[in-house]
């Protein structure tokens, strides 16, 4: 009899454990009381770059708001997975395949595979939500001879090998393409632009040391050096001037007669085939971040624009970007064959 009771007891334990497994999400989360997905552990935002860049800064500001405003039930942390123009971080997400690990991205998730820089691309992941739009900035040393973008472009047309343009992405990466897009609209043959790639984050140092002439980067990356009087901004790539301290002084390429813009959107993606309930969870949290006063102050501080897109909108936008960049890279002879 005792032996029978022991067997029945073990069977009951196994049955209850199985029921518990069924109540958990098949994609690494738990099921809430209303059937929605909720995280079982802390959330990790992956910045596929070194500390201090646009991906890193945006991730840390989003994590700060999520934590300090009590938007998430679990702690949100940021880790850096640097290398390969983002591909190291993307591979990390793909390998872990865990909805507790999501990553920030931008048009580079589209351009890198198109140009052959990376194997993984946006189709391998799940778009969750876009949170901001940033813009490119083209800056020179404070003592440089150029005072506006047209003067610079005229010199590149006349003597392209005498003007070097530096960026923190490889050739075919975002810093390179954003400059080529504007240069092409200004009448420059983009194939003649002398581009120098520094993936170790030393582009600003190279500019300040006089080793290069122009730095193609994101708007947020130049504000402190402008404030210190070390550099000057020849143009930014927004349609209109950006409101805010310092940034409102930066002229656009459009107002200088160059009819072209460049938007560096930044949003979050998760593993491929992500549980739709997990996507909905993050959509809601990022929308709360976007709508918060705390994040509005952060956007103004960095010169970011509010551009929230939910998962479906974000996916459609990325597809549109994919088609546009494919055409641009083909025109430049940089499309992967």
Domains of the chain: 37-133+264-331 (3.40.190.150), 135-263 (3.40.190.10)
Dihedral over alpha carbons 30, 81, 130, 115 (to 10 degrees)? -130
pLDDT at 4 over 60: no
pLDDT band at 53 (very low <50, low <70, confident <90, very high): confident
> And the tokens for 112?
């890198």
pLDDT at 12 over 50: no
Q: Provide mean pLDDT across the span 161-168.
A: 96
Query: What are residue 77's phi and psi, to 5 degrees?
Result: -115, 165
Helix (H) or strand (E) holding 318: helix 311-331
Prediction pTM value? 0.81
Q: What count of other Cβ atoms lies within 10 Å of the Cβ of residue 229?
A: 8
Q: What would the pLDDT profile of 109-144 be if each residue is shown by its tens digit?
A: 999 999 998 999 999 999 999 999 999 999 999 999
Confidence at residue 135, expressed as pLDDT on a 0 to 100 scale: 95
> And the tokens for 145?
């001879």
CA 11 to chain centre: 50
């Amino acid at each position: 009899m005792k032996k029978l009771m022991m067997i029945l007891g073990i069977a009951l334990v196994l049955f209850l454990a199985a029921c518990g497994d069924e109540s958990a999400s098949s994609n690494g989360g738990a099921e809430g009381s209303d059937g929605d997905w909720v995280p079982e552990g802390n959330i990790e935002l992956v910045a596929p770059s070194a500390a201090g860049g646009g991906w890193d800064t945006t991730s840390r500001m989003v994590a700060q708001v999520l934590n300090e405003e009590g938007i998430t039930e679990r702690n949100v942390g940021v880790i850096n997975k640097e290398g390969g123009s983002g591909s190291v971080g993307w591979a990390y997400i793909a390998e872990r395949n865990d909805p507790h690990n999501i990553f920030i991205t931008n048009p580079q998730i589209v351009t890198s595979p198109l140009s052959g820089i990376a194997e993984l691309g946006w189709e391998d992941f799940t778009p969750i939500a876009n949170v901001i739009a940033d813009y490119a900035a083209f800056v020179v040393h404070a003592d440089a001879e150029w005072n506006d973008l047209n003067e610079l472009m005229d010199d590149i047309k006349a003597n392209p090998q005498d003007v070097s343009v530096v960026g923190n992405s490889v050739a075919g990466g975002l810093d390179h393409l954003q400059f080529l897009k504007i240069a092409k609209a200004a009448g420059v043959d983009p194939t003649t632009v002398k581009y120098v790639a520094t993936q170790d984050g030393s582009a600003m140092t190279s500019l300040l040391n006089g080793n290069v002439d122009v730095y193609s980067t994101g708007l947020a990356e130049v504000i402190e050096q402008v404030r210190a009087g070390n550099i000057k901004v020849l143009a930014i790539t927004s349609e209109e001037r950006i409101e805010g301290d310092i940034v409102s002084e930066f002229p656009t390429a459009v107002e200088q007669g160059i009819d072209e813009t460049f938007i560096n959107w930044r949003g979050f993606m998760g593993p491929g085939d992500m549980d739709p309930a997990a996507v909905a969870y993050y959509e809601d949290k990022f929308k709360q971040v976007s709508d918060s006063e705390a994040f509005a102050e952060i956007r103004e501080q960095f010169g970011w624009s509010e551009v929230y897109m939910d998962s479906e909108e974000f996916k459609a936008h990325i597809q549109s970007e994919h088609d546009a960049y494919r055409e641009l890279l083909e025109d430049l002879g940089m499309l992967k064959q």
